[in-house]
């Protein structure tokens, strides 16, 4: 007669079902195989990365042996030979000195990130889920379907209960006036800048370059002029105000500041990245335009850059690369994030259903350019080999996805939404720890637009994970459609700055998110 229950092996020592033990043994070879493949890949990576060094070792040994075998007469003959070729030696030396001089004079000047600051709003501006929904209901502008839609988006967004709204949106009814929008801009920009100047002991009069980016709020005088007026900046300052460039404008602003630092000697540049919610809340019922209401929150960052050699000692990072990708030539990409009026004439930003697919295409183009600049030779060879095999032999071979974990120690993915982070984690084959900063920033502060990548960097620092030599990849997406990357290298074991936005809550993170 057959036994219906699981049989037990008395020799197992723990009374475990035989079926379970056999199933575990079946999985063991697969596990060992994956471990072996992992170490094979790491071994291949280190071998290729150090191939040049390994090739030079025999050459150095042979040269050392030859030199050690030379006697005094051989050395005397070598010196006489050089004397007879004095003209050649002088010419070669002059060419070498000239070449080194040209190289030093024409190479790009290093750009250092001295410090940065992220604005943290006061507690009274916090907006929980219930408060958000209650305010949305009391405005009377949303029907039941729109309210339910917003509730569903909130619950799946990855945002926590302690994100911030501007003061005008806490009023019932909301008061989205020009004066209130200016007040929000002043509050976040001045708050970030005050902290930055305090932490760095830099006199605002020493700032030679100012770049401000805010996509949706562009008053006259400009936001950059407001900062010049507030801090009484000098009259010959290079001042720029970037508008309408979306959530990736923070990287664009850094790129502009970098270019300006190449032609302006011995100066500081300040980059201020923010977004303004007060006048850009959508009070209609078009679903695609309601999503920004649920995701965007108050935030601002202020970054101090320098091209002064003396600042290298105290700087946190050195700028390594910036790669910008613009897909605006394609109509679908151009309109996937689009500010417009709905049928009732109410203004908002519409998000296309094809947004994630377009973002994926922009990311692919961006990393195709970035990859050769940052990836080790081992990964580039694998990618090239797969490409050749696909072209010549088998069109069905999947393209090799480079392992960017070999190029970067930390990732700051724009906290645009949970779907964006999930997609990049999957496509770049990242581990949960690599996207932790992005997820926790989204949870704690929401989508703060172009400043989100700086809140994420502050999270990594607050966790004590940033060590000297580490490389950071900041990647952001924005309307247009754009995908922009910035690569930084830590110049020291970076500690969090005073008044970091995570100062009073870092011990509570990471939190477990509901799937």
The secondary structure of 94-111 as a DSSP string is: HHHHHHHHHHHHHSPPP-
106 has pLDDT over 80: no
State how beta strands 347-351 and 337-341 pair. Answer: antiparallel
Work out the percent of the chain whose per-residue pLDDT is above 90: 68
pLDDT value at position 61? 75
Active site residues: 247, 326, 410, 414, 443, 447
C-alpha–C-alpha distance, residues 493 and 416, integer Å: 29
**Residue 34's pLDDT is what?**
47
Q: Can you tell me the distance from the alpha carbon of 469 to that of 197, in angstroms, rounded to the nearest whole number?
A: 26
Q: Please state, in angstroms and rounded to a whole number, the distance separating the CA atoms of residues 453 and 250.
A: 8
Helices (H), 107-203: 129-139, 144-157, 178-200
| Mean pLDDT over each residue of the chain, to the nearest integer | 86
Residue identified by tokens 């020291």 is 492
Whether 37 maps to a domain, the answer reads: no
Radius of gyration of the chain (CA): 29
The three-class DSSP label of residue 199 is helix
Is residue 12 a part of any domain in this protein? no
Q: Model confidence over 33-62: pLDDT tens digits? A: 444 455 455 565 555 556 656 676 777 777
pLDDT for position 58: 73
Query: Could you list the residue range(s) of the whole structural domain that residue 289 is in?
Result: 112-508
Question: Using CA of residue 157, residue 163, residue 166, residue 172, what is the dihedral sign?
Answer: positive
* CATH number of the domain enclosing 441: 3.40.47.10
Q: Angle, to 10 degrees, between the axis of helix 287-295 and the axis of helix 144-157? A: 40
Establish if 77 belongs to a structural domain. no
CA 471 to chain centre: 11
> What mean pLDDT comes out for the span 13-27?
38
Residues 6+ apart with CB under 8 A from 311: 112, 114
For residue range 295-331, what is the model confidence (pLDDT) as tens digits? Answer: 999 999 999 999 999 999 999 999 999 999 999 999 9
Confirm whether 445 is domain-assigned: yes
Residue 457, in any domain of the structure: yes
> Does some domain include residue 513?
no
Q: How far apart are CA 376 and CA 278, in angstroms?
A: 46
Residue 334: strand, helix, or coil: helix
Query: For the residues 15-29, what does the mean pLDDT come to?
Result: 38
Closest CA to 197 of 187, 188, 207: 207
Residue 42 resides in a domain: no
pLDDT band at 13 (very low <50, low <70, confident <90, very high): very low
How many angstroms separate the CA atoms of 245 and 248, rounded? 7
Q: Which of 28-42, 217-231, 372-386 has the lowest mean pLDDT?
A: 28-42
| Alpha-carbon span 224 to 270, nearest angstrom | 11
Res 26: pLDDT: 41
pLDDT at 27 over 70: no
Q: In Å, how far from its chain's centre is CA 443?
A: 17
Give the helix/strand (H/E) hosting 413: strand 410-413
As a whole-number percent, the residues of the chain with pLDDT over 70 amount to 82
CB 270 within 8 A of CB 303: yes
pLDDT value of residue 96: 82
Q: What is the mean pLDDT of the segment spanning 241-267?
A: 96
Domain presence at residue 218: yes
CA dihedral 241, 246, 249, 252 (to 10 degrees): -100
For the chain, how many structural domains are there in total? 1
């Amino acid at each position: 007669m057959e036994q219906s229950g699981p049989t037990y092996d008395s020799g197992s020592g723990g009374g475990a079902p035989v079926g379970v033990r056999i199933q575990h043994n079946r999985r063991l070879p697969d596990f060992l195989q994956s471990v072996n493949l992992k170490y094979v890949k790491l071994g291949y990576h280190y071998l290729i990365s150090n191939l040049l060094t390994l090739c030079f070792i025999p050459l150095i040994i042979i040269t050392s042996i030859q030199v050690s075998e030379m006697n005094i007469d051989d050395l005397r003959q070598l010196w006489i030979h050089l004397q007879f070729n004095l003209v050649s030696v002088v010419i070669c030396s002059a060419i070498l000195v000239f070449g080194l001089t040209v190289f030093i004079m024409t190479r790009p000047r290093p750009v250092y990130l001295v410090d940065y600051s992220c604005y943290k709003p006061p507690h009274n501006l916090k907006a929980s889920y219930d408060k958000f929904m209650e305010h949305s209901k009391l405005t009377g502008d949303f029907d039941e379907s729109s309210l339910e839609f917003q509730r569903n988006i909130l619950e799946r967004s990855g945002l926590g209960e302690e994100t911030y709204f501007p003061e005008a949106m806490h009023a019932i009814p909301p008061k989205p006036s020009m004066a209130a929008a200016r007040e929000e801009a002043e509050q976040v920009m001045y708050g970030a800048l005050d902290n930055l100047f305090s932490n760095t002991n830099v006199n605002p009069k020493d700032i030679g370059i100012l770049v401000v980016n805010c996509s949706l709020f562009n008053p006259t005088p400009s936001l950059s002029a407001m900062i010049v007026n507030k801090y009484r900046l000098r009259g010959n300052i290079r001042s720029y105000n970037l508008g309408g460039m979306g959530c990736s404008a923070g990287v664009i602003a850094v790129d502009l500041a970098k270019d300006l630092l190449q032609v302006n000697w011995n100066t500081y540049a300040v980059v201020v990245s923010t977004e303004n919610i007060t006048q850009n809340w959508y009070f209609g019922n078009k679903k695609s335009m309601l999503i920004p209401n649920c995701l965007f929150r108050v935030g601002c960052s202020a970054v101090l850059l320098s091209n002064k050699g003396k600042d290298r000692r105290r700087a946190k990072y050195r700028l390594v690369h910036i790669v910008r990708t613009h897909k605006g030539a394609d109509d679908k990409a151009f309109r996937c994030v689009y500010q417009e009026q709905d049928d009732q004439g109410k203004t908002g930003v519409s998000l296309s259903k094809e947004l994630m697919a377009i973002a994926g295409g922009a990311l692919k183009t961006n990393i195709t350019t970035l990859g050769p600049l940052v990836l080790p030779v081992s990964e580039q060879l694998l990618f090239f080999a797969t490409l050749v095999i696909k072209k010549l032999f088998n069109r069905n071979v999947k393209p090799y996805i480079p392992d960017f974990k070999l190029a970067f120690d930390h990732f700051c993915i724009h906290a645009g939404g949970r779907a964006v982070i999930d997609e990049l984690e999957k496509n770049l084959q990242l581990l949960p720890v690599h996207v932790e900063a992005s997820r926790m920033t989204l949870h704690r502060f929401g989508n703060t637009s172009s400043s989100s990548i700086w809140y994420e960097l502050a999270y990594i620092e607050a966790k004590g994970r940033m060590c000297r030599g580490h490389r950071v990849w900041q990647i952001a997406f924005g309307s247009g459609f754009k995908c922009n990357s910035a690569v930084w290298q830590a110049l020291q074991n970076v500690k969090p700055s005073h008044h970091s936005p995570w100062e009073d809550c870092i011990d509570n993170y990471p939190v477990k998110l509901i799937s």
